[in-house]
């Protein structure tokens, strides 16, 4: 009997998508989802050989005799998913897992070709927003425009070798004028080691609306965004935290980032007026927290559009910024540029440096020294390193070198 060999090729058409890193869960269901990781698509092609008799028909299933796989890869993990059929083509609107926000790598709204180079990415773990109780919001008063901040006396000391010269005297001192180091955290059990004798930590936040730190330090509630029911609980929780002693409120978390609050400047201005303005005069209110991306419609460009959309109606006492991927000179220059552009005090509620622990410690020591001791940077009112977590500022049962520097040096 004659036989013939039929070689069947089956390949799946794959659609590139984004895989979300699962957030680390806390004592209750976590809602904070930090930045998604954009992945590389790898296609695996399989060949199947089928041997048939002379009069045997070619089975239609031969083309689907293998199981194609697609792999999503990033620097830390590999995920695989098996396609249902060798001939399946996923439509472009196929739903994928919801992005898990974190705040490190800027996800741009424009294509890379149109937007140009991005800032350097620094890997970091996911972060979780504590869930909030389901409470009915109280009636909200009419929006109140913020009073303009008072301006401190100019100060222009001579810069050091690692310090950029200030182009103009810093402006925009906030009422109260408190300055200090804060802890950004998810796990409150890690906080006591930062608060021993000689600690310089004075405040905390957890990307959420309520304080679970059990430290007695000043807590700053964050609205975070307009999704996941956050607006429904914000008014009651913010007032409860103010009644408990909170003097500051944070607005949206990186609305200029697709993996975070992801809002247009116009939508963010309307929501800020509705949700944040009622607390003007009760607490100092921050702008939406922005990345340091240089892409169009991100970073300071997004914030400039937000102020324009506000048209003077958004309660805002200070500018909230995040900084990653900068060397110390660029870091300090960025602070001056932000203050000069928006003429308001600056809070740095997330920042991190790359390198070994010793390299990070050296960079952190330098910028803290400048912020705290060089009057050029007196407009920087509060700063929190990313973050009080195991593997970062904590290493097992000990503090990392830079975690110890941030808390005590």
pLDDT tens for 292-329 read 999 999 999 999 999 999 999 999 999 999 999 999 99
Same domain, 94 and 189: no
Task: Report the mean per-residue pLDDT for the chain.
Answer: 71
Assess if residue 214 is contained within a domain: yes
Assess if residue 242 is contained within a domain: yes
Determine the structural domain holding residue 326 and report its residue range.
Answer: 180-408
Give the three-state DSSP class for 258: coil
Q: Which residue has the higher pLDDT, 6 or 198?
A: 198
Assess if residue 379 is contained within a domain: yes
Same domain, 84 and 194: no
Q: Which range has highest mean pLDDT (40-44, 98-102, 154-158, 356-360)?
A: 356-360
User: Which pairing describes strands 248-252 and 222-224: parallel, antiparallel, or unpaired?
Assistant: parallel
Assess if residue 135 is contained within a domain: no
Q: Quick check: 215 pLDDT over 60? A: yes
Q: Which residue has the higher pLDDT, 357 or 106?
A: 357
Percent of the chain with pLDDT over 70: 56
Q: Quick check: 393 pLDDT over 50? A: yes
pTM of the model as a whole: 0.65
Spell out the alpha helix ranges (H) of 285-400: 299-310, 328-342, 357-373
C-alpha span between 341 and 323 (Å, rounded):
16
Q: Token pair 């408990």 is at which residue?
A: 244
Assess if residue 136 is contained within a domain: no
Give the three-state DSSP class for 55: coil
Q: Quick check: 144 pLDDT over 70? A: no
Q: Which residues pair with 289 in a beta bridge?
A: 253
Q: Quick check: 82 pLDDT over 80? A: no
The residues near 214 (Cβ < 8 Å, ≥ 6 apart) are 188, 191
Where does the pLDDT of residue 131 fall: very low under 50, low under 70, confident under 90, or very high at 90 and above?
Answer: low
Task: Say what the pLDDT of residue 179 is.
Answer: 87
Where does the pLDDT of residue 175 fall: very low under 50, low under 70, confident under 90, or very high at 90 and above?
Answer: very low
Same domain, 388 and 263: yes
Assess if residue 173 is contained within a domain: no
Beta strand extents in 120-253 (DSSP E only): 180-185, 201-205, 218-219, 222-224, 248-252
Looking at 92, 111, 128, the residue that finishes a domain is 128
The pLDDT of 343-353, averaged and rounded, is: 98
**CATH number of the domain that residue 201 is part of:** 3.20.20.80
C-alpha span between 56 and 247 (Å, rounded):
81
The pLDDT of 89-95, averaged and rounded, is: 33
Chain centre distance of CA 304: 19
Looking at 66, 94, 128, the residue that finishes a domain is 128
Same domain, 212 and 354: yes
Assess if residue 359 is contained within a domain: yes
Same domain, 270 and 403: yes
- Direct distance between the N- and C-terminal alpha carbons of the chain, in angstroms, rounded to an integer: 86
C-alpha span between 180 and 26 (Å, rounded):
27
Q: Are 116 and 108 in contact (CB under 8 A)?
A: no
CA-nearest of 248, 247, 223 to 237 is 223
Q: Which residue has the higher pLDDT, 112 or 1?
A: 1
CA-nearest of 355, 377, 359 to 368 is 377
Looking at 113, 128, 143, the residue that finishes a domain is 128
Same domain, 253 and 367: yes
Same domain, 186 and 280: yes
Task: Say what the pLDDT of residue 301 is.
Answer: 98
CA-nearest of 246, 258, 251 to 203 is 246
Task: Say what the pLDDT of residue 354 is.
Answer: 97
Lowest mean pLDDT among 11-20, 51-60, 173-182, 328-337: 11-20
Same domain, 218 and 353: yes
Question: Which tokens sit at 254?
Answer: 């990186």
Lowest mean pLDDT among 131-140, 272-281, 298-307, 340-349: 131-140
Residues 224-240: tens digit of each pLDDT: 999 999 999 999 999 99
Same domain, 90 and 184: no
Same domain, 92 and 186: no
Same domain, 58 and 201: no
Q: What total number of domains does the chain contain?
A: 2
Assess if residue 190 is contained within a domain: yes
Same domain, 263 and 388: yes
């Amino acid at each position: 009997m004659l036989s013939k060999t039929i070689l069947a090729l089956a390949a799946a058409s794959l659609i590139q998508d984004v895989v979300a890193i699962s957030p680390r869960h806390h004592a209750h269901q976590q809602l904070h989802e930090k930045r998604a990781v954009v992945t590389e698509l790898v296609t695996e092609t399989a060949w199947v050989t089928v041997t048939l008799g002379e009069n045997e028909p070619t089975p239609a299933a031969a083309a689907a005799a293998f199981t194609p796989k697609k792999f999503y890869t990033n620097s830390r993990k590999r995920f695989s998913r098996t396609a249902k059929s060798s001939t399946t083509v996923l439509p472009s609107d196929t739903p994928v897992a919801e992005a898990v926000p974190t705040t490190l790598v800027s996800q741009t709204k424009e294509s890379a070709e149109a937007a140009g180079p991005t800032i350097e990415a620094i890997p970091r773990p996911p972060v979780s927003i504590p869930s909030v109780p389901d409470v009915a919001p109280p009636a909200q008063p009419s929006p109140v425009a913020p009073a303009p901040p008072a301006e401190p006396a100019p100060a222009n000391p001579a810069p050091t070798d690692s310090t950029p010269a200030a182009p103009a005297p810093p402006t925009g001192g906030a009422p109260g004028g408190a300055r200090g180091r804060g802890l950004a955290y998810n796990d409150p059990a890690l906080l006591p080691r930062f608060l021993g004798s000689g600690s310089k930590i004075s405040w905390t936040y957890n990307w959420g609306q309520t304080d679970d730190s059990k430290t007695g330090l000043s807590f700053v509630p964050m609205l975070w965004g307009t999704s996941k029911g956050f607006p429904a609980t914000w008014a009651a929780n913010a007032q409860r935290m103010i009644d408990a002693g909170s003097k500051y409120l944070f607005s949206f978390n990186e609305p200029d980032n697709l993996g975070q609050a992801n809002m247009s400047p116009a939508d963010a201005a309307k929501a800020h007026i509705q949700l944040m303005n009622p607390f003007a005069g009760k607490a100092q209110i921050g702008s939406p927290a922005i990345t340091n991306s240089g892409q169009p419609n991100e970073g300071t460009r997004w914030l400039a559009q937000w102020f324009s959309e506000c048209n003077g109606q958004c309660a805002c006492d200070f500018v909230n910024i995040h900084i990653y991927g900068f060397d110390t000179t660029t870091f300090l220059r960025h602070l001056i540029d932000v203050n000069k552009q928006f003429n308001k005090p600056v809070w740095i509620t997330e920042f991190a440096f790359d390198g070994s622990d010793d390299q990070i410690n050296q960079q952190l020591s330098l910028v803290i020294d400048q912020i705290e001791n060089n009057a050029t940077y007196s407009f920087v009112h509060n700063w929190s390193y990313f973050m009080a977590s195991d593997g970062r500022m904590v290493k097992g049962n000990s503090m990392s070198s830079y975690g110890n520097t941030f808390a005590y040096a």
